[in-house]
Amino acid sequence: MSKKIEMNAGANTRLAHIGNDPHDYFGFVNPPVVHASTVLFPDAETMASRKQRYTYGTRGTPTSDALADAMNELEGAAGTILVPSGLAAVTVPLLAFLSSGDHVLIVDSVYNPTRHFADTMLVRLGVEVTYYDPMVGAGIADLMKSNTKVVLTEAPGSGTFEMQDIPAIVEAAHKGGAVVMLDNTWATPLFFRPLDFGVDISIQAATKYPGGHSDILLGTVSANEATWKQLLACHGALGMCAAPDDVYQVLRGLRTMGVRLERHQESALAIARWLEGRAGVTRVLHPALESHPGHAIWKRDFKGASGLFSIVLDGGDAKKAHAFLNALRIFGLGYSWGGYESLAVHVQLDDRQVAHAPQEGPVVRLQIGLENVEDLKADLERGLAAAGH
């Protein structure tokens, strides 16, 4: 970061300057995109000792360092690894801290591919997996076993947006000797800084808000001092490095993430409030709404809300959800979120074990993009009318 910027400057000021110092590279504002496998050493002695800043492409470049440094600053982390997708940002730290015979506690409202990884790969490697209620709070202490090595949290929960009492979970998990990880993709470090709340490892699908344009896959994993070395060792062992152009695009995206998030937040909240109490919608699952069961936790711990939430339709089944979705013209039907364009998806909740899905009707997740709110409302009116309201 440019030496002139204070660490306590406002979020948008820091986002505009973190990561690289332009004067390290002839004053060009943006860092170079370094495409590299081989790095040359000046002599055999330096090669033998590996005592130079860069040694091989998989172990970091000036481009990956710029983004990692930016994320360290945002997350308050000792170190950050960059991986090829948000899913890899979940699986790599789990592999770093779990061994055969260990037990892991995973929140039941977890992003479904994380569950798939746990139920297939982790189980195959001899790890015992237990899913817990997102509302468990300090009660997680009762689920801890002598071999519980990791507690994986995600707040709010995928699709249903349950909030978790992170400080209470951290206290109980640390008492039992477990590492706490949090998938912080929804809030980004601008709205929630997990490491400030005692979490050891903060996970970002940088594909979403940091990238911001639905054209990149990338993950970042930021660790505190206690966990950084072990995480870095696993990253190196797996060879799970990220491609330079994608890394550069995410650093580019970070520059505007603050202003984009302000707009996502404002539009999503306006639409969520407008949907509340509307015919055809029984519930709006958005933590910043006073009606949300996790609202008090959100207000206590988070600085803002992003643009993703769900609605529960008033009765019916998948057919009704499909009628709603098929009538939409602006909202695209697609996975992922955090881009500039609005998206909708029928949420599948049949994987839940303890956190039961809303029973009133189908759940539809909305990603509110940067379009005009009035146009998005008109589109949702079309959906509700097609669903029978």
Q: Which two tokens stand for residue 292?
A: 């949300």
Q: Which two tokens stand for residue 205?
A: 């699908």
Q: How far apart are CA 150 and CA 230, in angstroms?
A: 13
Q: Least Å distance between CB 6 and ligand PLP? A: 32
Stretch that binds ligand PLP, among 6-14, 20-28, 82-90, 98-106 (CB under 6 A): 82-90
Q: Which is nearer to ligand PLP, 162 or 314 (CB)?
A: 162
Residues in a beta bridge with 385:
none
The Cβ of residue 11 has, within 10 Å, a number of other Cβ atoms equal to 18
Binder among 17, 18, 111, 140 for ligand PLP (CB under 6 A): 111
Site string for ligand PLP, 327-366 (x = CB under 6 A): ---------x------------------------------
Q: Least Å distance between CB 182 and ligand PLP? A: 10
Phi/psi at 351 (5° precision):
-85, -10
Residue partners of 132: CB distance under 8 A and separation at least 6? 105, 106, 107, 108, 140, 143, 354
Phi/psi at 136 (5° precision):
-60, -35
Q: Which is nearer to ligand PLP, 154 or 301 (CB)?
A: 154
**153 forms part of the interface with ligand PLP (CB under 6 A):** no
Q: Which is nearer to ligand PLP, 160 or 207 (CB)?
A: 207
Q: Which is nearer to ligand PLP, 14 or 131 (CB)?
A: 131
Using an 8 Å Cβ cutoff, are 89 and 220 in contact? yes
- CA-to-CA separations, 263 to 54, 84, 256, in angstroms, rounded: 39, 27, 11
Q: Least Å distance between CB 206 and ligand PLP? A: 7
Q: Least Å distance between CB 204 and ligand PLP? A: 8
* Residues in touch with ligand PLP (CB under 6 A): 85-87, 90, 111, 158, 183, 185, 205, 207, 217, 219, 336
